Structure 1
Amino acid sequence: MSASTEQAVGAARGAQLPAAALELVAVHKQFKQGKRMVDALKGLDARFLPGRISGLLGPDGAGKTTLIRLAAALLEPSAGQVLVLGLDTRLHATAIQQRIGYMPQRFGLYEDLTVQENLELYADLQGLTVAARQQRFAELLKLTALGPFSARRAGALSGGMKQKLGLACTLLRAPSLLLLDEPTVGVDPISRRELWSIIKLMREQGVAVVVSTAYLDEAEQCDDIVLLHEGKVLAHQPPKAFRAPLEGRVFLVRHPQQHRRALQESLHIREGVVDALVQAEGVRVVLQSTDAPAQEGEQWLAVEPRFEDAFVSLLQSRQLAHATTAPQPSAPMAAEHAAPVQAAAATNPLTVIEVKELRRFFGSFQAVKGISFSVNKGEIFGLLGANGAGKSTTFRMLCGLLPASSGTLRVAGADLRTAGASARARIGYVAQKFALYGNLSARQNLDFFASAYGLRGARRRQRLEWAFAEFDLAEYADSGVMELPLGYKQRLALACALMHEPSILFLDEPTSGVDPLARREFWQRINHLAESGVTVMVTTHFMDEAEYCDHLVLMSLGEILAFGTPSEIRGRVRSDTLPDPTMEDAFIALIQSHEAQIRRAA
């Protein structure tokens, strides 16, 4: 299509519809994966308008990243047409890239350069004049609150600050279209809110924003949502339109004598239940109809639907969960199966993790400041905190990956400072980035970890057979890890961590970037492991996942700010103006209050 013809087509469209900042017309995109061709997008049609935030949502492999890369003119469609600001991406890629902002999942910051030097470098790459850039730098440093940190090396920034710097670099040349591919993955709730305040400001300035996200609460902040499924548009409408069909079908269920995880398990398997999710003091349930399958002793309270309910309902109905039968608990869950946490293993033989006055210095900087807590057998224990709070440092010390500067650290009865190897033999570990070997197949990864854990002969064969069957990995056995959908990478990582049947499982943000259906399946497995006696310690930025924990530690600036059950943590911020706080409400309020006190005292 010539430029003149393209303009004529655009004019004809414009007479009927408002001009789109991004339009995809019958777009197909194929990739070669091994010896086979994969259809990432299948005849996709979509329009995105200026001054609106459009959310891209869908399960792993739905085509979200492919769509964004096509819109950024980094890929060409296999068939169909992609128009950005009226220009065809096949003909005008360079012109398009000068008028848009694009932030990929892993934005390429230069960690050895300072914040200011990164801005300077990207200004050079984007061709900003010397006259224009100083004013723009000042605007963006103020917008992102990075001004006080302009001389700090990017590698020394917290995760949230890195994302804000990446967004600042993306916005150096004020774009007409802003493309954001999961910009808040791995970012704490406070930083997520800050990033979204910037995104909303872009909308106010008339920018068309297209953002993909794995956080379904973020979808509620969008003007419209494109829900993708297997390369096709399943629905394209405002959040309210997704929620409307679920009126009268969503409930919060409580049982005074039953543990929430046990109640969830009971509800999950009942006929007519689409979704059952632990929430606050009960379980949030989505039904196929308005007829509630209530049982004696249960309290059912109708609640307003939210987008997450609609998302799960739509995708579950199309059998997208691909969930295997999770291992069943060896016995029914007791009302409150976790024993109270004690201060020391000597007074409680059930204590399997003991931390006393734990400290860690990096040079003169104290990242962890004399913290103490203990964890009992069969507990799910959460370690939460904002980016830079010290929780990752603490977690690495607990796993034996980083030596403590001082203090007591006992895991599985062994002192990690003197007998680390014996303790690590009883530990399973799932890293945030999944410690898998990308150049090996799924089968080869399982073989490697079986060998690393010393499994031999019949025992080795038995555990390998278990892994393939339990995690439904047979279809991907000979696929390279880099080719696996994210949800299957997570399954494989968990299978590798459990090969030697550890008594303690460490999970470092294991669901970061994973779609909600895969997260539900994952937590069903974790609940069953805990009930079988496995102790689980987890870090997460999904505050709804914190509700699965028996106890939590909330860290801020290297210190323990709060400790208790999820209910106790939420109760600390309950007030007349906030009578029913969420875990995210508590997280933000407690950390912001603590950091404000520290600043006033400084």
Structure 2
Amino acid sequence: MTAAPVEATALRKSFRDKDLGEITAIDGLSLSVRQGELTALVGPDGAGKTTLMRMFAGLLKPDQGSLHVLGIDVARDPQQVQDRISYMPQRFGLYEDLSVQENLDLYADLHGVPQDQRRDRFARMLEMTDMARFTARPAGKLSGGMKQKLGLACTLVRSPDLLLLDEPSVGVDPLSRRDLWKIVLQLVDDEGLSVIVSTSYMDEAERCAQVHVMHRGRLLATGTPAELREKARGLTFVATPIAGMPARDLQARLIDVPDLVIDAVPQGGNVRFIRRPEADAARLAGLLDGASSASRPEELEDSFMILLREQDQGASPVATDMPPSGAADNGQPVIVVRDLVRKFGDFTAVASTSFQVGRGEIFGLLGPNGAGKTTTFRMLCGLLPATSGQLEVAGRNLRVARAQARARIGYVAQKFALYGNLSVRQNLEFFGGAYGLGGRLLRDRIAQTVRQFDLDPAAQSGLLPAGYKQRLAMATGLLHRPEILFLDEPTSGIDPLARRAFWRRITSLAKGGVTIIVTTHFMEEAEYCDRIAIQDAGEMLAIGTPQQVRELAGDAGARDMNSAFIAIVETARARREAA
């Protein structure tokens, strides 16, 4: 009889920190994984998913309990486990100076893949990832989505008995995410491969045969997606805002009353929400304030949010009083882009792009990996000069007054870019000083910011969970009360709970007159924007309200923004190929 891929009983794992003492990452956890199935680990930041995956891979030894992977006691013989599994961590180590083929060869050497097996294995991996055309391209020249696919191909240069994927689709666009999952599902269906994946995307967990919901090192629930969805039965609704009300405003009204509403999120111009079982019908009707509502089928994310709210009763992202930007609204756009071009040698990254953004507007820049949106974003921030065209930010021409423009903007990078060895307070003091704040004004701003973002001033920044790191990054970007806030994929890799809290703060900022420019790969977040722009291959494909963009996508857009995005990009690519 074949041994189960994973059998864990009463696992416990702690880490020692010189400042925080003992931190329990896995706390008495027991679970079983079935052969030949796709299994998901989901949970908020700090739930212990990565620690558990590293234990499965034999990279960490349990402090207590028993763990058998493929019938092998991991604590006794981790190398035997590692000889039979493949593990793709969140940051897979590609060698960027080596070509696609050279990376495959290197990982085949490291795993001892026999020469007579390599040709067929490489051919299969390159076919599945659609990268046969790019074998000579350096890995550093690949888009983010292509790097993820190459990482998966390198992970699978040998045929494992168990595949471990830790957040494989973080930071990749919907098209690349779809392609990545097509590969994984094909491996499960064709080869009967057992796969364990940790993910922040509930639609990915929906595809799995078994889902384990984790929280603070413990298991909250286990079951099939259908079994877990039962927890939300009868509690899920969709509300249609009255004419003229943005969906995000209705979402804010609902999510700010946690004793009535467990969760709310904009979708397709409406608001998807979960009511509490004991919610008073009259109060809820008053909260809707004329918006119509109807029941809808429950989704896995609904049950996930219910489970998390039960654990963190005070975690609902209630409205935060965000200070106004202080800039008067004179009706003039705060960002003006005309015929913007950026070239790198002979390569055109951004081609003749034009748009305007008004004060207090939330403007989303969307596009596949390698589409040119990050280049556009960096030019708007004054971090990269334009090759040609006109670019004004906060009333300043970036060609001649870049420093003055930068003083009026805030910036939150995609990756945590603060000083991990400093405390929260020390980071705020350093960046406040960099923005020209000092003395009592800086002390007052830090006190307000710590309170608004619910941060521990003494905590070491590098040890914060991902959601709190993101809060600190945004707090530093807002210390000097900027007119414009630039957010580069700010919610990449953080869970739905943290994303709700983040966007509640963003909508408060916009109400206070701060202009928000955001790039994101979460298409649900496009629904918070007043307008969005979709780019690909440096070309502007669509610009307008979320509703206008969905209409542009036709029937595909009627489903959701994710489908609209894919349809618009694929149509444009087909047109370019036919030309």
Classify the TM-score, shorter chain.
over 0.9
In structure 2, C-alpha distance between the alignment counterparts of 1:140 and 1:150, rounded to whole Å: 12
Which residue is 2:46 aligned to?
A: 61
Which piece of structure 1 moves more, 157-166 or 134-143? 134-143
Among candidates 192, 201, 206, match of residue 215 of structure 1: 201
In structure 2, the residue corresponding to 1:555 is in which secondary structure?
A: strand
**Shift, 1:259, TM fit:** 2.2
Is 2:544 the counterpart of 1:564?
Answer: yes
Which piece of structure 1 moves more, 39-48 or 477-486? 477-486
Among candidates 147, 150, 170, match of residue 165 of structure 1: 150
Which residue is 1:4 aligned to?
A: none
**Shift, 1:554, TM fit:** 0.4
Judge conservation of contact 1:573–1:581 (CA < 8 Å) in 2.
Answer: no
Which residue is 2:419 aligned to?
A: 437
Among candidates 506, 510, 521, match of residue 486 of structure 2: 506
Equivalent AA in structure 1 for residue 38 of structure 2 = I
Q: How is 1:136-535 mapped onto 2 (pairs within 5 angstroms)?
A: 136-204=121-189, 205-257=191-243, 258-270=245-257, 271-289=259-277, 292=281, 293-295=284-286, 296-319=289-312, 322=315, 326-328=319-321, 349-474=331-456, 477-535=457-515
In structure 1, the residue corresponding to 2:384 is in which secondary structure?
A: coil
Show CA shifts across 1:549-593 (max 9, x none). 000100011010001000011111233xx5832000010011011
Judge conservation of contact 1:214–1:513 (CA < 8 Å) in 2.
Answer: yes
Show CA shifts across 1:384-413 (max 9, x none). 000010000000110111111111010000
Counterparts in 2 of 1:108 and 1:566: CA distance versus 1, 3 Å:
same
In structure 2, C-alpha distance between the alignment counterparts of 1:453 and 1:152, rounded to whole Å: 41
In structure 1, the residue corresponding to 2:563 is in which secondary structure?
A: helix
In structure 2, the residue corresponding to 1:244 is in which secondary structure?
A: helix
Q: Percent identity?
A: 51
Is 2:533 the counterpart of 1:553?
Answer: yes
Q: How is 1:45-56 mapped onto 2 (pairs within 5 angstroms)?
A: 45-56=30-41
**Shift, 1:155, TM fit:** 0.5
Equivalent AA in structure 2 for residue 26 of structure 1 = A
Judge conservation of contact 1:101–1:179 (CA < 8 Å) in 2.
Answer: yes
Which residue is 1:132 aligned to?
A: 117
Task: Normalising by structure 1, report the TM-score.
Answer: 0.92
In structure 1, C-alpha distance between the alignment counterparts of 2:231 and 2:34, rounded to whole Å: 26
In structure 2, the residue corresponding to 1:351 is in which secondary structure?
A: coil
In structure 2, C-alpha distance between the alignment counterparts of 1:387 and 1:316, rounded to whole Å: 33
In structure 2, C-alpha distance between the alignment counterparts of 1:131 and 1:325, rounded to whole Å: 61
In structure 2, C-alpha distance between the alignment counterparts of 1:163 and 1:320, rounded to whole Å: 36
Judge conservation of contact 2:7–2:67 (CA < 8 Å) in 1.
Answer: yes
Counterparts in 2 of 1:566 and 1:596: CA distance versus 1, 3 Å:
same
In structure 2, C-alpha distance between the alignment counterparts of 1:417 and 1:294, rounded to whole Å: 53
**Shift, 1:321, TM fit:** 6.1
In structure 2, the residue corresponding to 1:304 is in which secondary structure?
A: coil
Equivalent AA in structure 1 for residue 126 of structure 2 = L
In structure 1, the residue corresponding to 2:501 is in which secondary structure?
A: helix
In structure 2, C-alpha distance between the alignment counterparts of 1:281 and 1:395, rounded to whole Å: 26
Which piece of structure 1 moves more, 260-269 or 30-39? 260-269
Judge conservation of contact 1:321–1:517 (CA < 8 Å) in 2.
Answer: no
In structure 2, C-alpha distance between the alignment counterparts of 1:596 and 1:47, rounded to whole Å: 45
Which residue is 1:34 aligned to?
A: 18
**Shift, 1:207, TM fit:** 1.2
- Spell out structure 1 runs of 4+ moving beyond 3 A: 320-326, 328-331
Is 2:579 the counterpart of 1:595?
Answer: no
In structure 2, the residue corresponding to 1:107 is in which secondary structure?
A: coil
In structure 2, C-alpha distance between the alignment counterparts of 1:499 and 1:299, rounded to whole Å: 39
Show CA shifts across 1:318-371 (max 9, x none). 11663575424789xxxxxxx9xxxxxxxx842000111111111110100010
Which piece of structure 1 moves more, 24-33 or 252-261? 252-261
In structure 1, C-alpha distance between the alignment counterparts of 2:477 and 2:88, rounded to whole Å: 32
**Shift, 1:434, TM fit:** 2.4
In structure 2, C-alpha distance between the alignment counterparts of 1:245 and 1:424, rounded to whole Å: 48
Judge conservation of contact 1:325–1:470 (CA < 8 Å) in 2.
Answer: no
In structure 2, C-alpha distance between the alignment counterparts of 1:73 and 1:87, rounded to whole Å: 10
Equivalent AA in structure 1 for residue 544 of structure 2 = G
Please list every run of 5 or more consecutive structure 2 residues that lacks an aligned counterpart in the other structure. none
Please list every run of 5 or more consecutive structure 1 residues that lacks an aligned counterpart in the other structure. 1-13, 332-338, 340-347
In structure 1, the residue corresponding to 2:554 is in which secondary structure?
A: coil
In structure 2, the residue corresponding to 1:133 is in which secondary structure?
A: helix
Is 2:518 the counterpart of 1:538?
Answer: yes
Judge conservation of contact 2:317–2:504 (CA < 8 Å) in 1.
Answer: no
